[in-house]
């Protein structure tokens, strides 16, 4: 497999701008494990091979269990996720699949029970960011496999 283009090299400002979102989210107060979980779920929905590789490695490096990773696609039927994680996953799916009827009030009411206004704003930005990353990597056909856990923490944002 070969990438179509390398936006890291051809437009480094794109990468730095997106890294700025990720850096903000790491400092937002949301649990890193939760951000990684929703990153992985959105990447499953979008079929982003690079992001699936990346976030599965980050989750494993942070101690996530194989059982929870393998069952994430069926999180509604599994007892492995907390109520807060379930609300975040449902919010992630509603925002990622926005053409399926926007975000239903029921989903909003569920997420509001688990997240403050500030957390919900940050959670929403996390979903926006991963969907952006997915689209960039899918468009470029970024080749998965070489990512090391935490690799982009070493890179400075704009």
Residues in the chain: 158
The pLDDT value recorded for residue 103 is 94
Determine the pLDDT at residue 156.
53
pLDDT of residue 60: 96
SS3 content of the chain, % helix, strand, coil (to 5): 70, 0, 30
Domain ranges for the chain, please list them: 30-148
Own/partner long-range contacts of 134-137 (Cβ < 8 Å, ≥24 apart): 134/42, 134/43, 134/46, 134/48, 134/51, 135/46, 136/7, 136/14, 136/18, 137/48, 137/49, 137/50, 137/51
**154 vs 141, more confident:** 141
Mean pLDDT of 3-27: 92
Cα–Cα distance between 127 and 143 in angstroms, integer? Answer: 22
Crossing angle of helices 32-46 and 12-26, rounded to 10°: 130
Give the residue from 114, 92, 113 showing the smallest Cα distance to 103.
92
Confidence of residue 158 (pLDDT cuts 50, 70, 90): very low
Can you read off the two tokens belonging to residue 32?
A: 């890193």
CA 117 remoteness from chain centre = 20
CATH number for the domain formed by residue range(s) 30-148: 1.20.1290.10
Would you say the C-alpha torsion 71, 75, 81, 86 has a positive or negative sign? positive
**pLDDT tens column, 51-84:** 999 999 999 999 999 999 999 999 999 999 999 9
* % of the chain residues with pLDDT over 70: 97
**Mean pLDDT taken over the chain:** 94
Q: Give the H or E element holding residue 91.
A: helix 83-96
pLDDT bracket for residue 154 (50, 70, 90): low
Q: Report the distance separating Cα 21 and Cα 62, nearest Å.
A: 21
């Amino acid at each position: 497999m070969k990438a179509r283009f390398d936006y890291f090299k051809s437009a480094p400002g794109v990468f730095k701008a997106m890294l700025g979102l990720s850096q903000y989210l790491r400092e937002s107060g949301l649990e890193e494990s939760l951000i990684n979980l929703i990153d992985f779920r959105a990447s499953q929905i979008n079929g982003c091979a690079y992001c699936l590789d990346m976030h599965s490695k980050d989750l494993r490096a942070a101690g996530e269990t194989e059982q929870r990773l393998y069952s994430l696609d069926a999180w509604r039927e599994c007892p492995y996720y907390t109520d807060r994680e379930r609300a975040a996953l449902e919010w992630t799916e509603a925002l990622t699949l926005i053409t399926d009827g926007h975000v239903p009030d029921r989903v909003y009411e569920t997420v509001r029970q688990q997240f403050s206004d500030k957390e919900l704003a940050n959670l929403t930005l996390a979903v926006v960011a991963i969907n952006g990353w997915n689209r960039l990597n899918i468009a470029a056909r970024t080749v998965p496999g070489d990512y090391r856990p935490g690799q982009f923490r070493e890179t400075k944002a704009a």
